[in-house]
Each structure stands twice: as structure tokens, then as C-alpha cells.
Amino acid sequence: MFRGMANIREIIGDNLAHLRKDAKLTQLELAEKFNYSDKAVSKWEKGDTIPDIETLYDLCEFYGVTIDYLTHEGNASEKKEFLRDTKSDFQNKILITALLITIFWMIATIVFVYTFIKLGEGYWQAYLWAVPASCILAIVADKKFFRSSLLNLIVESTLIWSFLAALYCTICTWTLWPIFLLGIPLQMALGIWFVMNNQRK
């Protein structure tokens, strides 16, 4: 039987509301994870609007369901066939992230070996630069896959201090040590931002 667009919106909205409540999230918390307003989430759940297809896909990834789950009526037990293997998905995301990060370390190793053979002294600082590069990739992965504010805080903190350390060791000038002072206000800003975001939750 053909279902009107309005009815599809209501079904998707109802399913989105149930999934959010099952995940013990408020509309504001969900909105922040996907960079939307809580008003937009409210409109989705009321069936006034439908998220764009990319956002729908991201929501399905986040909740561990398929698009079919959102477009069918019934409770979770009646739609088990549309559930994803979330444990397997999570492991795959970690493996993909780790695999991509190893690329930076492979590049660092190639640089070290090449400079050691050509110059007689390996450019070991390449390994230091691999750390902030890995952090940048991990931040992107967190926003795409994990959406963890704590993980984001840890990785961004590591990015700040590893970048300063790599810069200091590359220039190799003792008088450059004050650059580490730059990390203090940046770290404080990250901490304050983290606390503010969690207080709103």
C-alpha cells in the first residue's frame, strides 16, 4: 500500500524519537552531536521535516540501525532484522582509524630511513610530527564515527602539546622553550569548553 509523504515523515519522526529516548539523550544533546539545533531535532521527531539523506545515514550509524528501521512501524523487537551489528561496526571503525593513522607512521619511517641512508643521520623528528598528524586524523574520525566529547578533549590536548614538542625539537633552539607556554591557555580553553558543553547536558 502506498504511504503518503506525510505518513513517512511521521513514521521516521516517531522512530527517531524512540531511538533517542532509548539512548537516554535529550534533543539538545543529540543536536550538539550532529551540529544541529534542538529545534531541528524536534521538527524531525514531530514529522514536520525529514533530515537530509546524509544526516539520516549518520543517525542510522549512530543508533546502529538501517534506513529500513526508520521507515517501518513497530517497536525494536519487531524490527530486529533492521538492526546493525553495532559491536562489529564499532570495531571496524576503530580498525579503519588505526589503519589510516599507520600511514603517517609509515611516512615517518620512510623519511627516517631515507635521511639516514642519504645523510648518515636519520631525521628522527619525523616521528614527532607523526603524532600531531595522527591526532588531526583522530579528531576527524571522532566527529565522523564516535562523537565522544571526552575523546575529543584528549586528542585535541595531545595535538597541542605534540605539535609544540615537534616544533621545538625540529628547530632545536633552547631559547625557544617559551613556546610551551602557548599550550597553557590553549589547554585551559579546551578544558573550559569541555566543562561548558557537559554542563549543558
Separation CA 105–CA 51 (nearest Å): 38
Q: What is the structure's pLDDT at 175?
A: 86
Q: Please state the domain extents for the chain.
A: 5-82, 86-200
Output the CA–CA distances (angstroms, integers) from residue 157 to 8, 38, 152, 170, 187, in the order listed: 44, 28, 8, 20, 6
Q: What is the structure's pLDDT at 3?
A: 47
Q: What is the structure's pLDDT at 61?
A: 83
The CATH superfamily holding the domain 5-82 is lambda repressor-like DNA-binding domains (1.10.260.40)
Q: Find out whether 142 and 135 touch, Cβ atoms under 8 Å.
A: no
Separation CA 152–CA 135 (nearest Å): 10
Which three cell numbers mark 161? 602539546
CA geometry: angle 130, 135, 145, nearest 5 deg? 135
Burial pattern 151-190, b for ≥16 Cβ within 10 A else e, equals: ebbbbbbbbbbbbbbbbbeeeeeeeeeeeeeeeeebeeeb
Radius of gyration (Cα) for the chain, nearest Å? 23
Q: Which residues, other chains included, contact 185 with Cβ-Cβ below 8 Å and sequence gap of 6+? A: none
* pLDDT one digit per residue (tens) for the chain, 201 residues: 344 555 888 999 999 999 999 888 899 889 888 888 989 999 999 999 999 988 998 898 888 888 888 888 877 666 766 666 556 667 888 899 999 999 999 999 999 999 999 998 889 999 999 999 999 999 998 887 777 888 889 999 999 999 999 999 998 878 889 999 999 999 999 999 888 876 655
Output the CA–CA distances (angstroms, integers) from residue 177 to 72, 85, 93, 160, 201, in the order listed: 61, 49, 38, 15, 39
Q: What is the structure's pLDDT at 189?
A: 95
